[in-house]
Amino acid sequence: MTGNRKPLVVSLLLLGAAVLLQTTLLPYLAIRGVKPDLVLIILVFVAIRKGSMTGQLAGFASGLAEDFLSLSPLGFHAFLRICVGYFYGLTAGNIFVDPILMPLVLVMIATLFKGLASAVLIAVFSLPAAGFAAFSGPFWIELGYNAVLAPFFFAGLSLFKALHPRDKDEL
């Protein structure tokens, strides 16, 4: 496997595992029925390390997988993940990521963006989302849950050699 494809393949495998975990085991760890968004945390990490292209392709694939497993229409999660992957990828190589504060802030911003974009998509396409209310109680639980988990996931994902940051001109 060449060095160019390896980060994408590793990212897809990690995101695929996260999608499956979210549907099978994470409901047991839900707080008041709200699960953390592992896919989002991993995607933020991948995008800020490997750039826009890897970020958006990984986001597209993982989002589509979520759409297959969800009641959401095809494209809903894919749309959200592509945006996160692309925009976070633009910052690759330009920001310093410390072990705790930056993962927390980056994932919180990503969750806020997801909440806002979800609300827009649900409103524009009149999607039948179950009790979804923009920035309501469950959303803040998810935000906090994601933020708390982010530093741990970033630390764990740093161990993957394929996801180490590359030179700026390669991003």
Partner 1 sequence: MAGFTSHLSKRKPGAVFGLLLVFCLVLMLVSNRNVVIKPKQMGQSLFSLVQMGFHGLGSWFSNTWNSIGELKKLQEELEQARIKLLEYERASRSLTELRRENEQLKEQLGFSRALPYRQIPAQVIARDPGNEFSTLVLNKGSRQGVAREMPVIAFQGGLQGLVGKVVLTGLTTATVKPITDTSSYVAARLQNSRYDGLVSGGQLGTGGLVMRYVNKLATNEIQYGELVISSGLGGLFPQGIHIGRVREMQAKAYEASLTLEVEPIVDFSRLEYVFVLDVGE
**C-alpha dist (Å) from residue 99 to 55, 85, 96:** 21, 20, 10
3-state secondary structure of 118: helix
* Distance in angstroms (rounded) separating the CA atoms of residues 133 and 117: 12
Q: Binders of partner 1 among 105-164, rule CB under 8 A?
A: 118, 121-122, 125-133, 136-139, 141-142
The single residue among 15, 106, 163, 171 that binds partner 1, judged by CB under 8 A, is 171
The Cα–Cα gap between 28 and 22 comes to 10
Q: Quick check: helix, strand or coil at residue 73?
A: coil
Residue 162: CB minimum distance to partner 1, A: 12
65 contributes a contact to partner 1 by CB under 8 A: yes
Residue 165 makes CB contacts below 8 A (sequence gap 6+) with 49, 50, 92, 93
User: Does 70 help bind partner 1 (rule: CB under 8 A)?
Assistant: yes
Region binding partner 1 by CB under 8 A among candidate stretches 33-41, 93-101, 102-110, 154-162: 33-41
Please give the residue ranges that form the binding site for partner 1 (CB under 8 A). Answer: 2, 4-5, 7-8, 19-25, 27, 32-35, 37, 39, 51-54, 56-57, 60, 63-79, 82-83, 86, 89, 118, 121-122, 125-133, 136-139, 141-142, 170-171
